[in-house]
């Protein structure tokens, strides 16, 4: 599957099935992993990775108008096993809203550290719409595994190349196909970001990626603390 032809739920079939593997991590036998890139009007990217027999069998991507349209796209999915969202999944009470995860990314990847913006300086569409969708889904399924993502820095971490969808979309789509092991063609950066967010959620949920950036050290509680309005979340990372 390359692109969803029209709006609609990514999957309405059987319930998810999760089995333990010999390494002690979870193996997704069946289910759907969703990725979401929140944006402004008409710029909400969504992606759904279908798992069958423990492997990725189908990938859908689409661009929707609003966060409400995103919820309408996701909510009918009765085998949703994880979601990855390019948003602030938790907040810091410290200076400029910096979190341990943000500081770690800036230090680890100096070549793209300017992509890690102070949380207090981010666009509202990313922070508000992403959290609205996450909170809404968690109200329906409190235990839904969720991971924060950062597509631009993640692309650098996985490929050593700077993110530039406008100039290198063909190359970026080829890399996405490699990550998925399936063919996919995104129409814009919102869909690409949503798809790589689903990849992060899939790899984190199955134990392929074990580094949770939200476990990176915070400063003393006298200076900052993490606030998790949607409950416990992750920030799975490949390194």
Q: Is residue 55 helix, strand or coil? A: strand
CB contact set of 114 (below 8 Å; sequence gap of 6+): none
Cα–Cα dist 82/30, whole Å: 12
Q: Could you tell me if residue 4 is inside a domain?
A: no
9, two tokens: 């739920």
Confidence at residue 38, expressed as pLDDT on a 0 to 100 scale? 97
* Residue 31, H or E segment: strand 26-37
Does residue 127 fall inside a structural domain?
yes
- Residue 195 predicted with pLDDT over 70: yes
Q: Coil, strand or helix: which one is 159?
A: helix
Domain residues for 95? 17-237
User: What is the per-residue pLDDT across 131-147, written as a single tens digit (0 to 9) for each?
Assistant: 999 999 999 999 999 99
Task: Report yes or no: 227 and 90 within 8 Å, Cβ to Cβ.
Answer: yes
Express each pLDDT in 54-111 by its tens digit.
889 999 999 999 999 999 999 999 999 999 999 999 999 999 999 999 999 999 999 9
Q: Residue with structure tokens 């002690």?
A: 24
Question: Cα 10 to the chain's mean position, in Å?
Answer: 16
Name the domain count of the chain: 1
The answer to whether residue 195 sits within a structural domain is yes
Question: For residue 143, is it within any domain?
Answer: yes
Q: How confident is the model at residue 23 (pLDDT cuts 50, 70, 90)?
A: very low
Residue whose pair of structure tokens reads 């890399």 in the numeric block? 175
pTM here is: 0.89
> 38 and 44 in contact (C-beta within 8 Å)?
yes
pLDDT(223) > 80: yes
10 belongs to a structural domain: no
Any domain includes 5? no
């Amino acid at each position: 599957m390359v692109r969803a032809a029209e709006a609609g739920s990514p999957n309405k079939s059987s319930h998810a099935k999760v089995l333990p593997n010999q390494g002690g991590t979870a193996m997704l036998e069946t289910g759907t992993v969703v990725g979401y890139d929140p944006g402004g009007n008409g710029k909400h990217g969504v992606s759904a990775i279908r798992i069958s027999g423990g492997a990725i069998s189908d990938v859908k991507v689409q661009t929707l108008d609003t966060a409400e349209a995103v919820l309408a796209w996701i909510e009918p999915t009765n085998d949703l096993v994880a979601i990855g969202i390019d948003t602030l999944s938790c907040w810091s009470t410290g200076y400029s809203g910096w979190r341990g995860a943000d500081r770690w990314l800036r230090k680890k990847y100096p070549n793209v550290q300017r992509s890690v913006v102070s949380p207090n300086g981010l666009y509202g569409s990313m922070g508000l719409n992403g959290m609205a969708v996450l909170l809404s889904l968690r109200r329906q399924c409190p235990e839904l595994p969720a991971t924060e993502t950062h597509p631009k820095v993640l692309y650098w971490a996985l490929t050593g190349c700077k993110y530039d969808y406008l100039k290198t979309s063909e190359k970026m789509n080829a890399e996405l196909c490699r990550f998925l092991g399936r063919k996919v063609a995104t129409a814009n950066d919102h869909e690409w970001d949503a798809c790589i967010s689903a990849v992060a959620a899939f790899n984190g949920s199955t134990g392929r990626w074990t580094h949770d950036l939200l476990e990176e050290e915070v400063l003393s509680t006298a200076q900052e603390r993490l606030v998790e309005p949607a409950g416990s979340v992750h920030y799975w990372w490949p390194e």
